[in-house]
Structure 1
């Protein structure tokens, strides 16, 4: 009992849900991590093929089967007309507007190394909440599209 006396005891309750903006940040951060892994694999001359578990029903037996399949990861970057790399940040299928004034939706980069560094800094920016407004706009537009 003396061990408990030396500790600070409080009454606390764990929250079951996460704030929606924090959930969106985490979702975007996970996708940025996938893009980072994809870039690093391409730079090393390897392929990046993450796996996921997929559950489906066997039509003949009616049995539910869980199988590990390769997850398709689309690149968010491409070589532009000027020969430089363009990077668009996506939330779901929509591209985020990175600057409201100029309506810029892509980042122009010179090299693959700069692309990797930019993805790392974007990940930090998302966790700090710098893209919260853009994420909320895209999320709201997606939500409105489902309402009929």
Structure 2
């Protein structure tokens, strides 16, 4: 009797499929957690930076791994005598309530409470439809293509 005869072999294909709704929700939650760090740095009057690794060529022509700092852009800004807080999915702004894209608060200290509410809503799945609407790709039509299609 060989050593492999003791094992129970089966054929299987590994499933890498993940629910896209949960993937989008996790991406938004990760972004909101990072924005909480940006907010904490803003309260101290600093920029939040993330360390990033890049491959570059040095003077000898060798590829070396270099660590650099990247500034994280905040999802909140000061305007109109107060602060606007936006919720983003990637580079796109989410219309969290369906029509408006920002929440207005009077002071920077109130921004943290709005971020917490966005995070709670994202974890509960309340923003799933808004994320799906924001994440869907719109077809790119070249200028003049619609006119040419209607004439043909």
How far off its partner does 1:72 sit?
2.4
The TM-score with structure 2 as length reference comes to 0.72
Q: As a proportion of its length, which structure holds more strand?
A: 2
Unaligned 5+ segments in structure 2 are: 1-13, 142-152
> Equivalent residue for 1:5?
none
Partner residue, 1:66: 65
Question: How many aligned residue pairs are there?
Answer: 129
2:47/2:71 contact within 8 Å kept? no
Does residue 1:97 correspond to 2:95, yes or no?
yes
- Larger of the two Rg values belongs to structure: 2
Gaps in structure 1 of 5+ consecutive residues: 1-13
Deviations 1:91-144 (A, max 9, x none): 1111111222xx2110011222221121122112111111111111111136x4
Q: CA RMSD in A?
A: 2.5
Residues 15/48 of structure 1: CA separation in 2 closer, same or farther (3 Å cut): same
Q: 1:53 to 1:87 in 2, by over 3 A?
A: same
Structure 1 position 15, deviation (Å): 5.5
The runs of at least 4 consecutive aligned structure 1 residues that moved more than 3 Å come to 14-17, 56-60
